[in-house]
């Protein structure tokens, strides 16, 4: 189907999935909007983080291109915590630690484009967590 209608932050014929199998997270759903093909080897997803929720703190070699579509919150990319809101763009470079958190009183919904062939996310171990926590604003933000 060429056109799939949008209503209430759901898309026609797109199932609402769990965020992921592994890794700690809170209140996140996933919808896979486009699966790509050999001529465009990407996956285009919509994630929604419930108020007070967060994605997994992780890093990997593949990039994320993110567009905030709904609500507001904050994100960590590398060593920087930023306030984010509707229509902001977030680029997550290769191997940058990243985590998205919704505001306490608003969800955070975002489109995320990734390569179809991508490496598995890495979670921080004790040494990586200690390094991240060197910066007080990062220490206060992360939910490992």
Catalytic residue numbers? Answer: 112
H helices of the chain, where? 126-132, 136-141
Looking at residue 59, the DSSP 8-state letter turns out to be B
Longest CA pairwise span in the chain (Å): 50
Under 8 Å CB-to-CB from 111, ≥6 apart: which residues?
Answer: 33, 44, 45, 46, 66, 67, 69
E-strand spans in 93-138? 98-102, 108-115
Q: What sign has the CA pseudo-torsion 62, 39, 35, 103?
A: positive
């Amino acid at each position: 189907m060429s056109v799939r209608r949008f209503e209430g932050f759901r898309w026609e014929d797109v199932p609402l999935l769990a965020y992921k199998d592994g890794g700690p997270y809170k209140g996140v759903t996933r919808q896979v909007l486009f699966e790509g093909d050999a001529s465009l080897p990407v996956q285009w997803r919509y994630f929604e983080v419930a108020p007070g929720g967060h994605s997994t703190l992780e890093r990997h070699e593949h990039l994320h291109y993110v567009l905030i579509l709904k609500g507001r919150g904050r994100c960590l990319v590398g060593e920087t915590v930023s306030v984010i809101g509707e229509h902001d763009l977030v680029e997550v470079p290769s191997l940058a630690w990243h985590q998205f958190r919704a505001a306490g009183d608003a969800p955070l919904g975002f489109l995320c484009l990734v390569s179809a062939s991508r490496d598995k996310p890495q979670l921080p171990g004790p040494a990586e967590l200690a390094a991240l926590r060197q910066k007080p604003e990062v220490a206060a933000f992360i939910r490992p």
